[in-house]
Structure 1
Amino acid sequence: VVDSDSGYEPSTDDESAEEGGKLIFFGEKNHLFDFNDVIRGSAVVLGKGAFGTTLEVTIEDTSTSTITITTVVVKVLTEVVVGRREFEQQLEIIGKIRHDNLAELEAYCYSKDEKLAIYSYNRQGSLFKMLHGKRGMNDRVRLDWESRLRIATGAARGLAKIHEANDGTFNYGNIKSSNIFLNSRSYGCIGDTGLATIMKSLPQTTCLASGYHAPEVTDTRRSTQCSDVYSFGVVLLELLTGKSPAGEDMDLVSWIWTVAKKECRGEVLNMELLSELGGSEEEMVRMMQIGLACVAVEPEERPHIAQVVKMVENIRSTDAAE
């Protein structure tokens, strides 16, 4: 993968291949590309985060008379802190999780020079960009209330599926709006599943500043299902208000708790949603209540994700059958 803006050019020498420079695939699909195809494909940088660089890679197969074009998302993982065995064990668990509300892990690579996770490609940008992108740019989208309900419902279902994995012991570790996308039916879809536990732990100051991490989380490699629920609650409140979790003077959760204690819930509700984008005050209040339940300070007071799914689905009962 070579991109002028990414600063990333994988090794293609023989040593890399000997160290495991090949892709391990999941599922029963015919594999239209290999490791060399990926590193030679044209790439566009989608983002750079604490774990590495995310690329949109387009691969052309010209081996037959009909040219086949495949687009995938490649995570170039630069902060892996575990060895090959633990890396492969984690990715094998992730690769077996299949759900409409999760971005599928199609393949991975562990070599001396490259650690890659390859996901199915979703053409729609992240929820974070939809909510907070610059006005007038393609990133920012005026999401109506119906769309926000579908995003919340899908993301809740996806997180519930993650928590079922590995005999019910698996967790996500880094739920935030930049890791949530829209699937083909415009429901929320979670990406980057399970990577937090194999990556370098984020500094405590970063966790606090992000606004997403539960107060008990001091090591992002040791997040829990309870802390996932907290982070998901933040996303619900972000969807509701349209505000970024990391406020300049006060984080979103603290602000909403302050307003709620004054019984001034009207200050929390997004007036644009109510007046122009089909919002229902009753439904918006329900989402606020669910979000606040999820961000309870004490982990044991937060609802189980299965309960959260039912509550979100019941915000509008007609959605439960989707």
Structure 2
Amino acid sequence: MVVLPPAGTWVLLLLSSGFLLLFQFHGVGGVLNAEGKALLLFKWSITEDVEGTLSNWNASDQDPCLWNGVTCRGGSVVSLSVPKKKLLGILPPDLGNLSSLRHINLRNNRLQGGLPAGLLTGTRGLQSLVLSGNYISGPLPAEIGNLSYLQNLDVSHNSINSLVPPSLLECRRLRSLDLSSNNFTGPLPPAFGNSFVQLDKLNLSSNGFTGPIPAGIGNLSSLQGTLDLSHNNFSGAIPASLGELPDKVYIDLTYNNLSGPIPQNGALVNRGPTAFIGNPGLCGPPLPGPCSAGEGAAPPSFPYLPTDNSTPGVQVGNVDEVRTRRNLSTGQVIAIVVGDVAGIGLIALVFLYCYWRATSSAGKEDGGNSDKGQKGRKECLCFRKDESEVLSENVEQLDLIALDRQVNFDLDELLKASAFVLGKSGIGIVYKVVLEDGLTLAVRRLGEGGSQRFKEFQTEVEAIGKVRHPNIACLKAYYWSIDEKLLIYEYIPNGNLSTAIHGKAGMASFSPLPWHVRLKIMKGIARGMAYLHEFSPKKYVHGDLKPNNILLGANMEPFVADFGLGRLANIAVGTPTPHSNRMGTEKPSSQSSDVALSPILTSGLCYQAPESLKTLKPSQKWDVYSYGVILLEIITGRSPMILLSTSEMDLVRWVQVCIEEKKPLSEVLDPYLVRESDNEDEIIGALKIALACVQTNPERRPSMRHVLDTLDRVTATG
């Protein structure tokens, strides 16, 4: 028999157990302080912490000062620093409750969603906000102006899409501002630059800024390094005030819509043309194109002789008086004549000495043999051929030749480094090379032969080395000898797009890419290809665009690789190979039961346009077709050759058949994307672009620039 306690006892038991449950559930009721609670809300907003970085953030602690990434001073949280930990989640506004917070560093994670205004409202003492390399979207909140003590703002390499809020100008203590590689649009506030008297770093590159460059940027007297305004849509004239920047500042204005003469004053003087390329409307030095009469020449920066139309208040004599003042005195004329005579005499002496040395050395060596005498004269400094001509005729071995200023290693370091094979193809082996200082590179070995074509190779490889774009793999250096030819690239760590879409045999696990990452990849490839087609030094055609040579960076940003490689391989081995770099590729594993791979994939023909059957010479429209197939592959998750129950069908035709038969969208899409119903409009928009790219008639395909513009319009958050 069970004995029940009295009714009053039941009430006490219920109350005590309720309090216990509340205490256990919250875990923070009377133990963890308010700042710890705010940080726990951040932890709970993280849906994936693969490295267990936040594992010691426990509700049972009294305060969070011993938690990973948390720094306290005087018992208050002053710093939250958890960079490069692959944290997947969102930023909660509750971090704004950390009123003593001075530093936030969450760069290179996988944070999504918007930048909450609440975070910027509560942390008014914040000095450093670093969120670069995430997937943050939406606007930059106007509340950023509340951070009057902010010195470092870095939100680069995200997907922020808004105007720059005028309130940012209230952050007058800023020393470093990096908004690069986002989707910022519109003009900069007119007063931009006037407020940031302490700014020493400014990077606004790779956005969609429009309108004129504010003249106030020329007032940033503390700037150092590079003022990077490249890869935007800035228009109008270059403000002459930019010349007032410190001489040590490199001004990068490449790939905008700037026009008119380049001002010739201060920091803008003696800049090479590379600072201004990609602006067809610019003219005058240092660009080769002169300004037309209507545009006029840029004003000189040096004093000039006044004329009758000079500044009022300055008295100028008549023309004869001016001409008299410009006449040379008799002494000056004599000095010039004497100098000319002396110079001619010196040249004659050098010539005679050189001739005497050549003939005398030849006489000593062979008793006056005429053939060797001729050889001696040729070896004399006066008659020696240009060094590059000699090398191109008889190349045996050269040192490593850098194409990037940041290359600070030599051939010995490269050859002594640890090397791992990344892949093999018809155009050599690719190695992952790790130098002693930890620098990682990708080295492609082209093989032997072709010793007589160095000059041709040099011209081609150095042109490729000048191509610089955030979505193109950078060729950093090369090496040429009869026995060895190497191309040294930056190392891209996340493999290629084919593996990211389909996985790879032997992979321990495979996680399909979410839509926002796929969209980021689509746009990045389009940006890189639009640059190659329209703005690169030679307006390149890739000719072999496919997922295997789309490499993915640490934040899944795409890099177009291997452009121009076929041409270099032809020169290096000395025998012609197909222009399109048709090489063996690894077969990606299928993710669907009705999809299999055709042997044709090993030659990459599935990505080549129908006109490739008639000509081996690719065109830009050929690249557009290849890009369209890649888009279909990203959207459907299927390989470019599909095995049906009784036949094979290429991916382009399969999608067209699905549309003709009015199959539901869910049967066309990658099954993983079917669950992302909120993005259906964007997915359909991208599918339409892909179908436009793969039209049979090349003339009906859009340009890559038009593809990129359309992709930006139909997808608001990519």
TM-score, structure 2 normalization: 0.38
User: How many angstroms apart in 1 are the aligned matches of 2:632 and 2:434?
Assistant: 35
Per the alignment, residue 71 of structure 1 pairs with: 440
Change (3 A) 1:247 1:85: farther
Unpaired segments ≥5 residues, structure 1: 1-16, 61-67
Per the alignment, residue 551 of structure 2 pairs with: 181
Query: 1:194-233 maps to which residues of 2 (within 5 A)?
Result: 194-199=564-569, 200-201=577-578, 210-218=605-613, 222-233=617-628
Task: Indicate conservation of the 8 Å contact 1:26/1:105, yes or no.
Answer: yes
**1:93-140 deviation per Cα after TM superposition (whole angstroms, max 9, x unaligned):** 211111111111101122212222111111111111111223771584
Of 638, 649, 655, the residue aligned with 1:256 is 655
Task: Indicate conservation of the 8 Å contact 2:419/2:432, yes or no.
Answer: yes
Secondary structure of 1:216's counterpart equals helix
Q: Does 1:302 align with 2:701?
A: yes
Q: In terms of mean alpha carbon deviation, does 249-258 or 162-171 score higher?
A: 162-171
Matched AA of 1:234: V
Task: Indicate conservation of the 8 Å contact 1:210/1:246, yes or no.
Answer: no
Change (3 A) 1:163 1:20: farther
Query: 1:104-115 maps to which residues of 2 (within 5 A)?
Result: 104-115=474-485
Of 628, 636, 640, the residue aligned with 1:241 is 636
Percent of pairs identical after alignment? Answer: 36
Per the alignment, residue 670 of structure 2 pairs with: 270
Q: In terms of mean alpha carbon deviation, does 42-51 or 166-175 score higher?
A: 166-175
Q: Following TM superposition, by how much is the alpha carbon of 1:294 offset from its aligned partner in structure 2, in angstroms?
A: 0.7
User: How many angstroms apart in 2 are the aligned matches of 1:291 and 1:259?
Assistant: 14
**1:264-320 deviation per Cα after TM superposition (whole angstroms, max 9, x unaligned):** 252212222121x5762221111111111111111111100100111222232233x
User: How many angstroms apart in 2 are the aligned matches of 1:265 and 1:195?
Assistant: 41
**1:166-195 deviation per Cα after TM superposition (whole angstroms, max 9, x unaligned):** 556311111111111223443222112221
Change (3 A) 1:194 1:255: same
Per the alignment, residue 433 of structure 2 pairs with: 57
Q: Does 1:41 align with 2:417?
A: yes
Of 151, 157, 170, the residue aligned with 2:521 is 151
Q: Does 1:287 align with 2:686?
A: yes
User: How many angstroms apart in 1 are the aligned matches of 2:431 and 2:509?
Assistant: 17
User: How many angstroms apart in 1 are the aligned matches of 2:480 and 2:438?
Assistant: 25
User: How many angstroms apart in 2 are the aligned matches of 1:39 and 1:278?
Assistant: 52
Task: Indicate conservation of the 8 Å contact 1:46/1:56, yes or no.
Answer: yes
Of 84, 88, 91, the residue aligned with 2:454 is 84
TM-score, structure 1 normalization: 0.82
**1:214-257 deviation per Cα after TM superposition (whole angstroms, max 9, x unaligned):** 11124896211110111111111110011111334111112112
CA RMSD of aligned residues (A): 2.8
Higher RCO (CA-CA < 8 Å; seq separation 6+):
1
Per the alignment, residue 7 of structure 2 pairs with: none
Task: Indicate conservation of the 8 Å contact 2:492/2:553, yes or no.
Answer: yes
Matched AA of 1:45: V
User: How many angstroms apart in 1 are the aligned matches of 2:501 and 2:712?
Assistant: 22
Task: Indicate conservation of the 8 Å contact 1:245/1:252, yes or no.
Answer: yes
Per the alignment, residue 6 of structure 1 pairs with: none
Matched AA of 1:273: L
User: How many angstroms apart in 2 are the aligned matches of 1:172 and 1:161?
Assistant: 11
User: How many angstroms apart in 1 are the aligned matches of 2:505 and 2:423?
Assistant: 19
Change (3 A) 1:168 1:300: farther
Per the alignment, residue 396 of structure 2 pairs with: 19
Q: Does 1:28 align with 2:400?
A: no
Matched AA of 2:411: F
Secondary structure of 2:532's counterpart equals helix
Matched AA of 2:624: V
**1:119-162 deviation per Cα after TM superposition (whole angstroms, max 9, x unaligned):** 11111111111112237715844200010000001111011111
Q: How many residues align?
A: 294
User: How many angstroms apart in 1 are the aligned matches of 2:522 and 2:608?
Assistant: 18
Q: Following TM superposition, by how much is the alpha carbon of 1:28 offset from its aligned partner in structure 2, in angstroms?
A: 1.8
Task: Indicate conservation of the 8 Å contact 1:51/1:79, yes or no.
Answer: no
Structure number with higher helix proportion? 1
User: How many angstroms apart in 2 are the aligned matches of 1:318 and 1:241?
Assistant: 20
User: How many angstroms apart in 1 are the aligned matches of 2:448 and 2:710?
Assistant: 37
Task: Indicate conservation of the 8 Å contact 2:512/2:672, yes or no.
Answer: no
Q: In terms of mean alpha carbon deviation, does 296-305 or 220-229 score higher?
A: 220-229
User: How many angstroms apart in 1 are the aligned matches of 2:506 and 2:601?
Assistant: 29
Matched AA of 1:296: Q
Secondary structure of 1:160's counterpart equals helix
Task: Indicate conservation of the 8 Å contact 1:19/1:112, yes or no.
Answer: yes
Change (3 A) 1:226 1:259: same
Change (3 A) 1:38 1:279: farther
